[in-house]
Structures are given as C-alpha cells and as structure tokens.
A = this chain, B = another copy of it.
Amino acid sequence: MFKAIVSADTLESALDSVSVLVDECKINLNEDGLAIRAVDPANVGMVDLSLAADAFESYETDGGIIGVNLARLEEFVGMADSGQLVQLELDEETRKLHIQIEGLEGTLALIDPDSIRQEPDLPDLDLSAEIVVEGRDIDRAVTAADMVSDHIALGVDTDEEVFYVDAEGDTDDVHLTLTREDLISLEAGEARSLFSLDYLKDMDKAIPKDTEVRIELGEEFPVKMHFEIAEGKGKITYMLAPRIQSD
C-alpha cells in the first residue's frame, strides 16, 4: 500500500537528482519516507536520495519497492504547475501508479524492480578533506573546466588553505581557487582526485545554485557531495569514482 500527497516542486527536485544519472530506478517505500539508490551503467556515478515522510502533505505506506521509468514519471509530474499538489497511489493489483493533479488523473505502468540494475552500496569512506561551498561555485567550476577539458581535478592545498579546481586541456587550462573566505567551511586535509567532467556536469544540473553542498574529498579517492532539498526533508548524496591520473 502506498498513498501520498506531495508538492510538485519537491517531487520534481527529488526525481531530477536521480534522473541525471539513470533512466529507471527502484523506489523504496518505507514508513519514514521514500529512498532511492542508483548507479549509472558504467558504475562511476552513484546517487542516494531520501525524502522523509514529513516532506509530504500526507504519506502512508506499509512498505515495498516499485520500479519506475523516471522520464515518464517526471513528464506526468511536470503537468502540475509550480505550487500544485500531486497525489500518488499504488494500485497493487495492476502494479500501476495512479497520479492525480487537480482534476487530471493519470495511470503510469510500473517496471518490474527485478529488471532494474541492482542498487549500489555507497561505501563509508574516510576522506581527508571536507569543504562546504555554494551550489553556484560548483556550477562555475564545471562550466569553466568544460571549456578546456573532459576531466577535472578537485583538490585541497593545506598550506594555502584553499579548495581548488584544475582542468587541463591540450593547449589551454583553467584553475579556480576558493579561499577559506570564499567557502562556507573548510576542514583541510591533503586531497586531490581527478574526475570525469561528464558525470560532474550531470550532477551539477541537479544541484540548486543557492544550496550548500558539503564535499568530502580524498587522495585519488571518490568524491562525495551532500546537499538538501525540501527544506532539509530531502537529502541527496552523490558519489563519483575517480579517474586514474594520467600525468
């Protein structure tokens, strides 16, 4: 059993954060909210989303897992105007999801969860540096790096106490340096890892510009990026595997 009412804006933000990485996903329906974990087909980028029951206007479930095509579900939810409510209800028999938005009623066929890629484990990692930045700084770094290269290095310089971004192309390069004053916070430990820009660009799309993003970074280790939606009632973590340093 699953029946919930939620603002279209909250549901869209939640779904967007997953759909930048995968086309289909399993949604875990728990008493205290819903949760999605997914990894892209190449096992490089992962997302872990939780949306607490109190992010919803109303929320009832006795648990379960449903499989959804994200693009189709987002299209349905996109029929709502900003500020409108979306009612979701699972039809256990037909395995379809009923969606209601002010007089509009849709039925969306679900996907057999067993046919969807297995959910990844997001490992606990002991990462040496932790940086908190605004979403817009990640956007700026990614946009700048994209001009010259298809990979990007994120690092912390403990001597200078700065968080930096390096992108080196064949002829041109860019560097972005954020000092302790530019950052919301910096717990400096030696850290530098190289990442594929394509994945970071996808993740950047789903990160609100005016949100705080907590970045955990290590030495040639995966990066974790944590941020919140729905006034803290939704929590998203991205994890991105490093590329081997080529130089």
As a 0/1 sequence over residues 64 to 82 of chain A, the CB contacts with chain B under 8 angstroms (1 = contact) are 0000000010011001000
**In the assembled complex, which residues on chain B have CB atoms less than 8 Å from the CB atom of A106?**
144, 147-148, 172-175
Instruction: Give chain B nearest CB distance to A137 CB in angstroms.
Output: 9
The residue from B103, B171, B172 contacting A176, defined by CB atoms under 8 A apart: B103
Instruction: Give this chain's copy count.
Output: 3
As a 0/1 sequence over residues 173 to 193 of chain A, the CB contacts with chain B under 8 angstroms (1 = contact) are 111111100100000000000
The residue from B75, B107, B177 contacting A103, defined by CB atoms under 8 A apart: B177
Question: In the assembly, what is the distance between CA of A204 and CA of B79, in Å?
Answer: 16
Question: In the assembly, what is the distance between CA of A177 and CA of B102, in Å?
Answer: 9
7 A-B pairs within 8 Å (CB atoms) are namely A72-B172, A75-B147, A76-B174, A103-B177, A106-B173, A107-B172, A109-B172
A interface residues, Cβ below 8 angstroms from B: 72, 75-76, 79, 103-109, 140, 143-144, 147-148, 171-179, 182
